[in-house]
Amino acid sequence: MARLMKFKMERPGLVQEGQEVEIREGYLPNSVFYYVIEPAVAMSGNFPLGERLFARTGTVTEIAEEARGFYVTVSFEE
């Protein structure tokens, strides 16, 4: 089953659709996790323990420019 996650990217051209990317997991107090597309290309929002991502690689499915910046959608097989 595929899981889609959005990451905020500050400028275009850092990744391409169809590209396989590696993910780093970060941990905040109170069992909150966040994810970064390496090497520090884009960052996810925060996720509680129950929504933790276990895959460490995914495929970029979409890059969209929105009013607040660029958003990268990545598909993970979990």
**pTM of the predicted protein model:** 0.91
In angstroms, rounded to a whole number, what is the distance separating the alpha carbons of residues 53 and 69? 24
Task: Give the DSSP H/E element, type plus range, for residue 13.
Answer: none
From the number of C-beta atoms within 10 Å of its C-beta (0-12, 13-18, 19+), residue 25 rates as middle
* pLDDT for 17: 97
Side-chain-side CA neighbours of residue 78 (13 Å): 13
* pLDDT for 30: 87
> Hey, is 49 helix, strand or coil?
helix
Backbone angles phi, psi at 11, to 5 degrees: -145, 155
Q: Give residue-wise pLDDT tens across range 14-72.
A: 999 999 999 999 999 988 999 999 999 999 999 999 999 999 999 999 999 999 999 99
Quick one: pLDDT band at residue 1, thresholds 50, 70, 90? confident
